[in-house]
Amino acid sequence: MSITLTAADWLSLFVHYLTLSLLSVGGAITAAPDMHRYLVERQGWLTDPQFSASIAIAQAAPGPNVLFVGLLGWNVGLNAGGLPLAAMGLVISMLGIMIPSSTLTYLATRWGHENRDLRAVRAFKQGMAPIVIALLIATGWILATGSNYTLSHWPQWLIAIVTALIVWRTRIHLLWLLGAGALIGWMGWV
């Protein structure tokens, strides 16, 4: 697909990500549905398969999940014509999604550290502990089951459960487990 982006379009992309940044509580991936609406449906800068592939690749690659935002920008630039524009799309997208939330985190953490003896600050940090721990377990649950509970997915559930038990109880290197998972998948057993 081939598209043309004006300077105003690039600015619009940047501003859109600036606003999404502050709405992405729980990680950038929570803003993915809105990015789909903006990039694919409203602007037509990416095709549906390009959007899905960008997310799949970023999930499969090592590193923070937020990189999918950079990859979306990269592909918008590629559609607009060539690697320089792709690099520009990547930089604009990453800066847009990162600057507001990182600035807020930086200032809030500083404030929290200077006031760490305040009872309210201690109550917040300690009070949230059971919730964020439960969230981690819930995230694992969601990743393992996907959006439906089809019984045919039982090999994936089994792998997830066995992995969780091994990591919980042993100190084996995590990359061995990922390698084993990749091998089992490669053989077509999941």
Partner 1 sequence: MPEAPAATLQEQRPRPESLSDLFFSFTFLALQGFGGVLAVVQRELVEKKRWMTREEFVEDWAVAQILPGPNVINLCLMIGDRYFGFRGAMVGLAGMLTFPLLVVLGLALVYAHFADNPHVAGALRGMGAVAAGLITATGLKLCSALKRHPLGVPMCIVLGVASFVGIALLRWPLAYVLLGVGGLACVLTYNKMVKAAA
CA distance 155 to 189: 7
Site residues for partner 1, 146-175, by CB under 8 A, read 155-157, 159-168, 171, 174-175
Cβ atoms of 3 and 45 closer than 8 Å: yes
Whole-number minimum distance, CB 82 to partner 1, in Å? 14
Select the residue interacting with partner 1 from 13, 21, 88, 93 (CB under 8 A): 21
Gyration radius of the chain over CA positions = 20
Cα–Cα distance measured from residue 182 to residue 87, given in angstroms and rounded to the nearest whole number: 31
For partner 1, the closer CB: 8 or 175? 175
Q: Which stretch binds partner 1 (CB under 8 A): 6-14, 34-42, 115-123?
A: 115-123
- Closer residue to partner 1 (CB): 6 or 152: 152
Among 2, 26, 148, 152, binds partner 1 (CB under 8 A): 26
Nearer to partner 1, 8 or 26 (CB): 26
Tell me if residue 160 falls in helix, strand or coil: helix
| List 18, 40, 53, 95, residue binding partner 1 (CB under 8 A) | 53
**Selected binder of partner 1 within 3, 40, 95, 180 (CB under 8 A):** 180
Nearest CB to partner 1, comparing residues 6 and 170? 170
Q: Can you tell me which of 14, 131, 151, 152 binds partner 1, judged by CB under 8 A?
A: 131
**Residue 115 engages partner 1 in binding (rule: CB under 8 A):** no
Instruction: Tell me the C-alpha distance between 186 and 171, whole Å.
Output: 25
Report the distance separating Cα 172 and Cα 161, nearest Å.
Answer: 16
The DSSP code for 116 is T
End-to-end, the C-alpha distance of the chain in Å comes to 34
Q: Give the Cα separation of 109 and 24 in Å (integer).
A: 18
Contact between 59 and 82 under an 8 Å Cβ cutoff? The reply is no
Question: Binding partner 1 by CB under 8 A: which of 15, 23, 48, 82?
Answer: 23
Q: What part of residues 55-84 is at the interface with partner 1 (CB under 8 A)?
A: 56-67, 70-71, 74-75
